[in-house]
Homo-oligomer: A and B are copies of this chain.
């Protein structure tokens, strides 16, 4: 039924080995090469990638493990990774972990069974701590999240600096009581928190930071609690920094429901230049992450690692770009 390399060989009047060499840029005389190419066209032969992978021991496949492809940050990074991968002749297996360490472990096991040549991984805080203890037989590049002790190549944002930029921008615009909302699931929340703390203390402001689950609902509830249910108006926050797109959305939603003007009643700034941040109200001030560069760099690092398994570990830190919009207009 299905036509294999042997059928092509028979039609071309050569051995299977020769057909294989024609297909895989081996050394073959021009005459035979042309016979084989004709036979390939005639038979409509399509290589069987499973067989090829088994014999050659190259899966030509990488894994991409992220929390949720619906998070626009990961969507954009994925697209960049896939473009780079297909260009390098690699397939990509996408895995959504929903920030669940068990799913992460399961998918890492699966990657092993697929014999992937490498993995690009955005781990949870919990998993990143234990990466060293669980040996894997493929190289891994961490994106977005990592820790000091990580023994893998990484490409991350300069989270602390970016958070500091937002705080300083708000300060420059005249805001003083600045509350910080940070996600508690990933290391980015931790780093952005520390950047916030450093900036606040340098500016001699009283920090007011809280870690919450990474959901719009949690942020919404937190803002409602502080701005509506809270005590005296004079003690309410004047501005808020949200450490990712999801939290930022919750903040904006809470403001809308409570009838708070942005920035009149509450200035807003956050991370992730999602499309809506440009359109909503006066526009929201955000840190834009270089998503394409992150994806492309991760892929490049992985390829280079495959070439040089013993090369020193590299950690690439990219800086974000602060896009100033109306949500942080000068106070007063």
- A: residues with CB less than 8 A from B are 2, 46-51, 53-54, 59, 68-70, 72, 75-76, 78-79, 82-83, 91-94, 96, 109, 112-115, 137, 249, 252-253, 256, 274-276, 278-280
Contacts and interface: CB of A to CB of B under 8 A. Distances in A.
B82 A75 contact: no
A66 to B, nearest CB: 11
A159 B278 CA distance: 29
Contacts of A279: 249, 252-253, 256, 276, 279-280
A108 to B, nearest CB: 11
Contacts of A51: 54
A113 B79 contact: no
A94 B109 CA distance: 20
14 contacts: A46-B113, A49-B115, A50-B115, A54-B54, A68-B79, A69-B69, A69-B75, A69-B78, A252-B279, A253-B278, A253-B279, A276-B279, A279-B280, A280-B280
Contact of A50 (B59, B78, B92, B275): B59
Looking at chain A's contact residues, the main secondary structure is helix
The number of times this chain is found in the oligomer is 2
A275 B280 CA distance: 11
Instruction: List the 3 closest A-B pairs by CB distance, nearest first.
Output: A276-B276, A50-B53, A50-B54
Contacts of A96: 79, 82-83
Contacts of A274: 275-276
Nearest to A216: B275
B49 A113 contact: yes
A54 B137 CA distance: 22
A84 to B, nearest CB: 12
A47 B113 contact: yes
A252 B279 CA distance: 8
Contact of A113 (B48, B83, B94, B278): B48
Contacts of A70: 72, 75-76, 79
A184 to B, nearest CB: 22
A1 B99 CA distance: 33
Contacts of A114: 49-50, 91
Contact of A48 (B49, B68, B115, B275): B115
Contacts of A249: 275, 279
A112 B253 contact: no
A46 B79 contact: no
A143 to B, nearest CB: 17
Given A49-B113, A50-B59, A279-B279, 6 more contacts: A70-B72, A70-B76, A82-B96, A92-B93, A94-B94, A280-B280
A278 B252 CA distance: 11
A116 B101 CA distance: 29
Contacts of A94: 82, 92, 94
A54 B48 contact: yes
Nearest to A106: B86
Contacts of A75: 69-70, 75
A276 B280 CA distance: 7
